[in-house]
Amino acid sequence: MSDEDVIIEHDPVDHPPVLTNSNTPFFWSAVNSVWKIVEGNGYFFIIGAVVAYFVYQKAVSYLEGKASNDVMSKLTPQQQMDRMEGMRRSRIRLQQDVDQASAVEAEKIREREERVRKEKIEDWERHVRGEGYKNKTKPAAAAASSSKSLKKDNYNPLMGSGTSGGSFKSSRPSRGGGGGGGVSPS
């Protein structure tokens, strides 16, 4: 048999030039994804880590300072009870002061209402006797003092700034003259 007589049947399959495993393990695919994220956003992670470190340091120092400066934690239980009892007595004393002040104010209000009620009764009795009602207008002396005007006699708000002697100066230029470009009257 010669070489020409042998026929080998095979199905030609296209093979890729580089063979890779398409079933990569989950761990390595996760590592690869994380690495790509860090590559793209590394500066943000670094800045975030620095900020987190400083915030942590501030929080630790604040909490340590607060724990060491707590006055009540340095006192014995008896001293703590004495201090709380003193605060309770202070609150009671302040509340009593407020109650007394409100009682005095309520008494003043009652007296004022009683006086107004009596004035109304007297006014009605005067009216029944024919003497007329109480004059509710201001006395003449009070009326004269309130009639004084704070404005000048020649004040007219519609006239602008020139008539009342005010010190207002307009920021607009005056309308007189100027370069109109027209024919001058001569």
Predicted TM-score (pTM) of this structure: 0.33
Query: What mean pLDDT do residues 47-69 have?
Result: 87
Query: What mean pLDDT do residues 73-101 have?
Result: 92
105-150 pLDDT, tens digit each = 999 999 999 999 999 999 888 888 888 766 666 556 555 555 666 6
C-alpha dihedral sign at 135, 141, 142, 147: positive
Q: Is the pLDDT confidence value at 92 over 60?
A: yes
Query: CA angle 18-20-25, nearest 5°?
Result: 165
State the chain's maximal CA–CA distance in angstroms: 160
Question: Which residues in 19-172 belong to E strands, given as ranges?
Answer: none
21-30 pLDDT, tens digit each = 666 677 888 8
Q: Which residues of 144-170 are buried (b: 16+ CB within 10 A; e: fewer)?
A: eeeeeeeeeeeeeeeeeeeeeeeeeee
25-51 pLDDT, tens digit each = 778 888 888 888 888 888 888 899 999
